[in-house]
């Protein structure tokens, strides 16, 4: 496993060792001991989620206040542009974003620590995204920042208006978002 430091404190890009031959491929998508050894992060996952989205669906930028979730995100099928936004007021990278293309063929995973918002845009005909979370989904704690916030200025590289859920359409601007005091 190789770990790449990103421009946001504690957001990490994970590249597993992939073993390929004429039969196909194999890689460990999760190994707690190796993850901790390589990243210094001790993560205890309590929930795994799987979403399928069609082309041009944008999900997020979601997060949970009071019950923040760390997430380890990977693509099982397709291509997404995955984004993390630092909402930790005391972080040196508060208000910064990081984006990366995750695909079924590059096998990358993104570690999004507690205190960051997360979202993604589907760039293939469809995409299956799997992510493990360090806390349970708590709808009463769920919040959303609008995807096209001018302050964050995320470069989604979008050619047309994305497909959004009703909840994501009601996202708030970054300056009005509830943030974390850690």
| pLDDT tens figures, 57-85 | 999 999 999 999 999 999 999 999 999 99
Enclosing domain of residue 71: 45-176
Residues 6+ apart with CB under 8 A from 12: 3, 4, 5, 6, 39, 41, 110, 111
In a domain, 142, yes or no: yes
Q: Is residue 155 domain-resident? A: yes
Q: Partners of 72 in the beta sheet? A: 111, 132
What is the number of domains present in the chain? Answer: 1
pLDDT tens for 123-161 read 999 999 999 999 999 999 999 999 999 999 999 999 899
Residue 138 lies in a domain: yes
Q: Cβ neighbours of residue 8 under 8 Å, at least 6 residues apart?
A: 84, 86, 91, 93, 96, 97, 98, 116
Q: Which of 182, 5, 4 is nearest to 94 (CA)?
A: 182
For the segment 98-113, the average pLDDT, to the nearest whole number, is 98
Beta partners for residue 49, in sequence order: 131
- The predicted model scores a pTM of 0.95
Output the domain CATH number for residue 124.
2.60.120.10
pLDDT at 182 over 90: no
């Amino acid at each position: 496993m190789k770990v790449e430091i990103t421009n946001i404190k504690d957001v990490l890009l994970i590249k597993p060792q992939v073993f390929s031959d004429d039969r196909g491929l194999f890689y460990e998508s999760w190994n707690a001991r190796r993850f901790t050894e390589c990243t210094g992060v001790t993560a205890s996952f309590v929930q795994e989620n799987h979403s399928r989205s069609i082309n041009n669906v944008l999900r997020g930028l979601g997060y949970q206040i009071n019950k923040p979730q760390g997430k380890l995100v990977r693509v099982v099928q397709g291509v997404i542009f995955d984004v993390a936004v630092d909402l930790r007021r005391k972080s040196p990278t508060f208000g910064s974003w990081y984006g990366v293309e995750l695909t079924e063929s590059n096998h990358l995973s993104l570690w999004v620590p507690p205190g960051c918002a997360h979202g993604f845009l589907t760039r293939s005909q469809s995409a299956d995204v799997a992510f493990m979370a360090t806390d349970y989904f708590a709808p009463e704690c769920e919040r959303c920042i609008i995807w096209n916030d001018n302050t964050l200025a995320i470069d989604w590289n979008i050619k047309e208006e994305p497909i959004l859920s009703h909840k994501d359409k009601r996202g708030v601007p970054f300056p009005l978002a509830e943030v974390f005091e850690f």
